[in-house]
Amino acid sequence: MPSFQKRGRPRRRRPRECHRYLLFYKPYGVLSTFTDPEGRPTLSQYIDVPEQVYAAGRLDMNSEGLLFLTNDGWVNHRLTHPRYKLPKTYLVQVEGIPTPEALDALRRGVMIKGRRTAPAEVELLEEPPALPPRPRPVTPHGPTRWLRIVLREGRKRQVRHMTAAVGLPTLRLVRVAIGPLTIDGLEPGQWRDLTLDELRELRQILSRASGSRR
């Protein structure tokens, strides 16, 4: 029996939307979109699902690592809006030897286009991380080191601008985690659906972050 609104007009039942949540290891040289007017490599060459999903927080073409894709607007908004401060973890190869002063500056915040970045977690790694080789190898002009950087904001090309501001150009950038979600178990070009446990944990974290802003 159909349900009715006021004035006796029938109310159509909206089909229940099927939400999809994907983790994808974006390779070097691939855009974080599904189309490109210039014909460059895009996500469509790797991901073919019926749902219209979008990346919640992009990586530039020359960066690699974890992308979260969904058609759930509630989750997408909270993953990308800086007010929720969801940590994102990066492994960063820089050219040069980071000094204690440079590391402290990155932790405290540096000026980028007239605005200071938020405090960040920055760790100098003793050994290079175990990562898949990049199709186009890095060609440094001197010694390099690896940093682990955790940000809670997401400006465009922020990590690259931050390291450049302290005299350490970024040579390779790999995002390895978004909140509790990690790239573990994926190779470049591979994707998978979130498990129910992962989705439940993520929603709990985002709900707590929403409550803390009220």
Two tokens at 101? Answer: 């002063």
Backbone dihedral region of 126: left (phi > 0), alpha (psi from -120 to 50 degrees) or beta?
alpha
Residue among 73, 79, 161 at smallest CA distance from 116: 161
Whole-angstrom distance, CA of residue 209 vs CA of residue 62: 31
Query: Other CB atoms closer than 10 Å to residue 202's CB: what's the count?
Result: 21
Has 48 been annotated as catalytic?
no
Determine phi and psi for 91, rounding to 5 degrees: -105, 125
Determine phi and psi for 168, rounding to 5 degrees: -130, 85
Q: Which of 48, 60, 72, 104 is catalytic?
A: 60
DSSP at 16: P
Two tokens at 136? Answer: 């186009």
Cβ pair 137, 67 in contact under 8 A: no
> So which residues are the catalytic ones?
60
